[in-house]
Amino acid sequence: MIYLDHNATTPLDPRVLDTMLPYLTERFGNAASPHAMGVEAADAVERARVRLAAALGADPREIVWTSGATEADNLALKGVAAAPIYARRRHLVTVRTEHKAVLDPCLELERGGLRVTRLPVDRQGMLDLERLRDALTEDTLLVSVMAANNETGVLHPIEEIGALCRARGVLFHCDATQAIGREPIDVERCKVDLLSLSAHKFHGPKGVGALYLRRRRPRVRCEPLFHGGGHERGLRSGTLDVAGIVGLGSAVELAVAEMEGERCRQLRLRDVLERGLLERAPSATVNGHPFRRLANTLNISFPGVDAEELLRAMPDLAASTAAACTSASRQPSYVLRAMSASSEQIRGSVRFSLGRFTREEEIDEALETVDAALGATGRRKESAESAPGRGERRDA
């Protein structure tokens, strides 16, 4: 299998697994227990908290462990909206191309009486900062904009967004799930007040993530989503996944240390893939900004091709037609629709995303695989259209 779907999930780095194994076997204590094994587990959790805080330029006390970015997004949006101190501010601003883990909580908050502004993007998936500036009012509580889009890799100017929000006294939440370990993010420099992430996007384990929650200048108030033990300073009750948290800390430390080298290497491989596909399919178009996007991500539309059929014709190559969350419900890409892509572009779009273990020979093999599949699906389509009576029934 050639795995080019790293924006959906990444393989666990063996070095990360090595750090986790002791906490899955002999060091299995509950981090909330008072005895020696519990203290040992709690110490491991705190070391991981320090590692993640260092990667973000944060204070360790500002890290709240969650089951992943979806929970962190929900805690950020719903938790802040429920805080009594913000009761007079009932307006949220987000972007139409955000992850469903942001858009769906915004919809729920809207149903509960809050007002939500969903900003458009241009054809390259970029947000207009003037539109954002104009959307802010005295009633605005929070702006939620992702650092990097999961489908196109488009990078939003979060430093400028953070500065704008801070100047207007508005909280800034950033879903940085795709950006952590791929792009440098410093919460102080970017003036981020809340930030969400998942370990499995940077070669850590699934089922563990975190929310960064600013403690000072300004101190962000947040209500918990559920109760039952008061863990994580009362913000996220539940027994901590010690092994997963240890893995997250190890994974983020490795990702940051190797980020520059990996970004250059993956960019080179992605460009080889992009050029090769455009040579083989000259009418194909790349979706997203030509250079303001993640180095590992290529979203490309093949006209006249059904992307689902194309992927079925490549059983040994893993790619996707949209974000994993959207593919699970088999919906067309709302991200590309927000970018004014045509129905044909959306139907023919495939996302390829590279990772730490992607090799040059895999890119060469992927190009040959896609080329063969394009030929096969094209021939099948031509045969179907030329079959007696088939064209009329299709049109009907």
Q: At what angle do helices 14-24 and 242-257 cross, to 10 degrees?
A: 160
Contact 5, 366 (CB under 8 A): no
Contact 208, 68 (CB under 8 A): yes
> Is 264 noted as a catalytic residue in this protein?
no
Q: How far is CA 295 from CA 46, 164, 356, in A?
A: 32, 26, 12
| Residue 360 neighbours by CB under 8 Å, 6+ apart | 269, 272
The catalytic residue among 174, 222, 264, 325 is: 325
| φ and ψ at residue 157, rounded to 5 degrees | -80, 75
d(CA 97, CA 104): 12
What single string gives the DSSP state of each residue in 370-384? Answer: HHHHHHHHHHHHHHH
What single string gives the DSSP state of each residue in 118-181? Answer: EE---TTSPPPHHHHHHH--TTEEEEE--SB-TTT-BBP-HHHHHHHHHHHT-EEEEE-TTTTT
Contact 29, 38 (CB under 8 A): yes
12, with CB counted inside 10 A (0-12, 13-18, 19+), is middle
d(CA 101, CA 115): 18
The residues annotated with a catalytic role in the active site are 325
